[in-house]
Chains A and B, each alone.
Chain A
Amino acid sequence: MIVKDLQKVFSANIREYGMYIALIVIMGIFQWMTGGLFLSSRNIANLFNQSGYVAVLAVGMTLVIVIRQIDLSVGFLAGFLGAIAAIMLVQWHIPVLLVIPMILALGVLAGLITAYPVAKMGIPSFVTSLAGWLIYRGLLLMVTGATGTIIIPDPVFNQIGNGFVPDLFASETFLPGLHKTTLVLGFIALVWFMISETISRRRKESYDFEVLPFYLFVMKLVSLSAIIAAISWIVSGYNGLSWTVVIVLLVVMAYQFLTTKTVLGRHIYAVGGNPEAAELSGISVSKITFLVFGSMGLMTALSGILFAARLKSAMPTAGTLFELDAIAASYIGGVSAAGGVGKVTGALLGTIVYMCLMNGLNLLNTDIALQYVIRGGVLVAAVIFDVTTRQARR
């Protein structure tokens, strides 16, 4: 009976579980091949910090793809905005707390500009954003042309990409070497997760919707809690939570709320599912297009800031191929090119899978040429898996 229940649950959720399993398998393989280096606290901290600037792009990109569009300009736009931030800080001496909102606003503006021909004239976003790709690349070269790489000396700015949340409960005697604040936050997250799962189960039961058999539900809670606990433990072993991770988590939570709970989110998915029906239901497709591209611009600016802060500098090549990394992560995360399907949490998971791959291959000193081949293979495999499981469920 257990086997049967499991089979049923698994085949209904194969898409979602498949991704977690893929992630665990990938991690397991790297852990084994690197002799335990991969899951070390230090490497995981590094991996998460590396993933930040891709993750925020993938979140924005997922929504763009959900409404059946694409934005190729984000890579060099991120690079360009990072360079502008550096110039503002270094050459114009604008305080960092002004620079950040200004850059974010510029990002939104750039997104709206990309959206304008799409929303108002029906021009394919592939074209307008390709133009953006060229333009921002040119602009990036222009602003960094005179100086080359711009070193950013601002410590506050650089914290965003390299800093860690200070430990409020620092102690030399209790659990020395571990970041207690991270453990506490991990514990809170764990409790919150259990409570919200239980509430949602209750609610479903009250509507007579199908729920997992109780023992499976408990198994699910226990295994996912174990994962949360393990991650908190590993992360707390090396300086604890980084600001990058905090920012990414906040972004993902905000977008998760926006897409699953709000009217606006529903309008976005409606436009993706059937733009004409959405328009006839009183939803302005052009407004949604502006909004989603605006959000993409915002995420792009954030990505540019994270990247520049991480490198403590702005480089003429910053942002190269970011757009493709973000698109790949979104597709691994389960977004559908046909529109209307794709989750923000999927984007995060897709990013982690993708970045694990890069990070692990780097640890193994894999030839960079081979790395590209493997990344391509994984992308195709993920999308094939997605499409076939979706068909199987029909």
Chain B
Amino acid sequence: MITPVLEMRRIVKTFPGVKALNDVSFSVSRGEIHCLVGENGAGKSTLMKVLSGLYPHGSYSGEILLEGVPQQFRSISDSTRAGIAVIYQELALVPEMSIYENIFLGHEVRNGMSVDWNETIKRAAEMLRKVRLNINPATKVRDLGVGRQQLVEIAKALSKNVKLLILDEPTAALNEDDCANLFDLLRHLKDEGVTSILISHKLKEVIQIADAVTVLRDGQTVCTLNARSDEISEAVLIKQMVGREISNIYPPRERNHFDETILEIRDWSAYDTNLGRPVLKSVNLRVGKGEIVGIAGLMGSGRTEFARSIFGNPDHYELSGTLFLQGQEQTIRNPKQAISTGIAYATEDRKGNGLILIQDVKQNITIANLREIAKSGTVDANAEVKVATEFKDALNIKTPSVEQTVVNLSGGNQQKVSLAKWLFVKPKVLILDEPTRGIDVGAKYEIYCIMNDLVAEGMSIIMISSELPEILGMSDRIYVVSAGRITGELQAAEANQEIIMQMATS
């Protein structure tokens, strides 16, 4: 038998109050694409942090072997030297620097005392060719889309002679083209001898690309399936992940006509004075009471800009057009007013501008509506714990207590906290921007059920999503956005992926 490239044996990692990894064993053969799946909080990211030395040797128990040799990584740089590179979902590039500076950041090409920029640029161009990114290496990273930034990250890893490439939810923020592109590249790298570990909640992708899949549940390895010998299907994976079968991905819902208009937007245009370009061009949109309106479109088409422009316009775009809430024309000057008139917006970027990571779960849940649990300006601590605990139970947020600091929660559970925060505001119109990004199948189903309950009670939801199946499965009506314009409006019944993609790229 050939020795695996990587073997992790009996890894146990505990945090105060949480056993994140409980005796995990995990083995990866050379030159394969190995996917790691499991529910939110199953321990996938933690396992990779152990592997990369972010959690140093000694802070966990168990063994790590690379090509049969035991390793004791004390830091990321130790594992980098051993040929391991991790690409996190939050990309770690410096936006103000050029591509070539980023690629060689931390291991600059030297010429005596100084940096050899010519050589740097030459080598950077080479790396970009390897990741098949045809772009000037002097371009600033800020000016690239997420997909391309990810490729730059991979180029950076390749420049360090990576043998084992780890990608933690790389596709969560990618559109389908970028995704396909990334997978092509991974297959190509595989031929060149680079082994990859891929964490993803998108099971379709997993099936498509994996040579082997390891499933984690509650900090333990459930099984490892091999594409050659085992059946890998969505049903099988889901069953292994959650321990039971889930037949419907989308809970059934009745689709009615929604005649009572809650929100109406007419001739809505926005101009970004910082970038000096229009971001929205005369958008018209209507949301009925109790309706789920889906907004589809490619990354950068203006979906998020639209949401933010109606949610009090925190980016200070120059706006024109009118907004009616329950038939009343409203001028909303800031998010505070938006919230008090009944609009809420759960952002797509929960870490950047959604949550206060250094505060605990209960503080994050109540922050947008503290008055509700306050008497004459004083927060009622008991009421706060009660409210937070209710949401923790209702949304099944996995945390030892509501006093846990949010930064310590797994990605998916952070997303649920951010959702809880807006549900507590009880808005009339709830805008959800990528509500299920990074969320596992079971939790997705829970969130969809919650959405259905909310609209049944008369709330209206605008759901922005890059996942077309989700848009199709949940929306009553769909708007398609492209380049700041609405290029189509569809009833759920008449929509399908092709039509939407056509409109989104027109």
Contact = CB atoms under 8 A, between A and B. Distances in A.
A49 B363 CA distance: 38
Interface string B148-187: 0000000000000000000000000000000000000000
B474 to A, nearest CB: 24
B401 A281 contact: no
B421 interface: yes
Contacts of B314: 276, 279-280
A13 interface: no
A190 interface: no
Given A269-B359, A274-B355, A277-B354, A282 B377 contact: no
Nearest to A283: B336
Given A280-B347, A280-B353, A283-B336, A263 B358 contact: no
A262 B377 CA distance: 5
A277 B335 contact: no
B397 to A, nearest CB: 17
Contact of A341 (B352, B358, B367, B374): B358
Contact of B358 (A264, A266, A273, A279): A273
Interface stretch (B109-117, B266-274, B378-386): B378-386
A270 B354 contact: no
A73 to B, nearest CB: 28
B353 A263 contact: no
A290 to B, nearest CB: 15
Contacts of A283: 336, 367
B353 A266 contact: no
A274 B363 contact: no
Contacts of A209: 401, 403
A333 B382 CA distance: 28
B358 A282 contact: no
Contact of B345 (A207, A278, A280): A280
B371 interface: yes
Contacts of B381: 203, 261
Contacts of A274: 353, 355-357
B487 interface: no
A282 B379 CA distance: 17
B339 interface: yes
A276 B354 CA distance: 8
Contacts of A262: 374, 377-379
A109 to B, nearest CB: 24
A262 B379 CA distance: 5
A142 B230 CA distance: 87
Interface residues of B, number: 33
B368 interface: yes
Given A270-B356, A270-B359, A281 B377 contact: no
A273 B357 contact: yes
B378 A261 contact: yes
B120 interface: no
Nearest to B336: A282
A261 to B, nearest CB: 5
Nearest to A338: B358
Given A209-B401, A274-B356, A341-B358, A281 B368 contact: yes
A207 B339 contact: no
Scoring A270, A279, A280 by chain B CB atoms within 10 A of each residue's CB, the highest score goes to A280
A357 B379 CA distance: 38
B139 interface: no
Contact of A266 (B311, B352, B367, B401): B367
B379 to A, nearest CB: 6
B359 A281 contact: no
Nearest to A271: B356
A203 B382 contact: yes
Nearest to B373: A263
Contact of B335 (A203, A207, A279, A340): A279
Interface string B340-358: 1000010100001111111
Contacts of B368: 281-282
A273 B351 CA distance: 12
Given A274-B353, A340-B358, A281 B367 contact: yes
A262 B345 CA distance: 25
Among B353, B355, B371, residue most surrounded by chain A Cβ atoms (within 10 Å)? B353
A276 B352 contact: yes
B378 A282 contact: no
B334 interface: yes
Given A263-B371, A273-B358, A340-B358, A280 B378 contact: no
A277 B347 CA distance: 9
A282 B340 contact: yes
A198 interface: no
Given A209-B401, A262-B379, A274-B357, A282 B339 contact: yes
A277 B370 contact: no
B353 A270 contact: no
A378 B401 CA distance: 37
Contacts of B370: 263, 266-267
A261 B373 CA distance: 12
Given A209-B401, A263-B371, A266-B363, A277 B355 contact: yes
A267 B363 CA distance: 10
A261 B379 contact: yes
Contacts of B357: 273-274
A270 B421 CA distance: 14
Contacts of B355: 274, 277
Contacts of A46: none
Contacts of A269: 359
30 contacts: A203-B381, A209-B403, A263-B370, A263-B371, A263-B377, A266-B363, A266-B379, A270-B356, A270-B359, A273-B356, A273-B357, A274-B356, A274-B357, A276-B314, A276-B352, A276-B353, A277-B355, A277-B356, A278-B356, A280-B314, A280-B335, A280-B347, A280-B354, A281-B368, A282-B334, A282-B340, A282-B368, A284-B334, A340-B359, A341-B358
Interface of A: 203, 207, 209, 261-264, 266-267, 269-270, 273-274, 276-284, 340-341
Given A263-B371, A274-B355, A282-B334, 20 more contacts: A203-B382, A209-B403, A261-B378, A261-B379, A261-B381, A262-B374, A263-B378, A263-B379, A264-B377, A266-B363, A270-B359, A270-B363, A270-B367, A278-B367, A279-B314, A279-B335, A280-B353, A281-B421, A282-B339, A341-B358
Q: Enumerate the 9 nearest inter-chain pairs by beta-carbon distance, A residue then B residue, closest first.
A: A273-B356, A276-B353, A282-B336, A281-B368, A282-B339, A263-B370, A274-B356, A263-B374, A281-B367
